[in-house]
Amino acid sequence: SSETFWTTTGMFPQEFIIGFPKRVKISKVAIQCYLVQTLRIERSVSNDPVGFELCIEKDLQHTEGQLQTEEFPLPDFQATYLRFIIKSAFDHFVSVHRVMAEGT
């Protein structure tokens, strides 16, 4: 729902983990967020959310008054869990409105 979102508690880094029912192939991850400065995405292929490895780390562009929309193409990429780490922000609090993963 576009009416709901996850917000940070004000200190950084902040993180959240998304789990899939089984290992999946992902071709692209997209995120809609607000005031995120540095975002890191990690993956795990384990049955439990452990053993994460870096997929991408990016400094996002500040977009005053509107959501940031970022897409990350991930060719030949498999994951059971994705961990999103917000390393820094343009303000004390940020929000994540949508995370989308495309694949099979």
Question: What is the tally of structural domains in the chain?
Answer: 1
The reported pTM is 0.93
Q: Which domain holds residue 91?
A: 15-103
63 contacts: CB under 8 Å, gap ≥ 6 = none
The model's pLDDT over 45-60, given as tens digits with 9 standing for 90+, comes to 999 999 999 999 999 9
Residue 7 lies in a domain: no
pLDDT < 70 stretches in the chain = 2
Rounded to 5°, angle at Cα 101 from 43 and 68: 100
CA–CA dist 70, 78 (Å, integer): 20
CATH code of 78's domain: 2.60.120.260
Residue 26 lies in a domain: yes
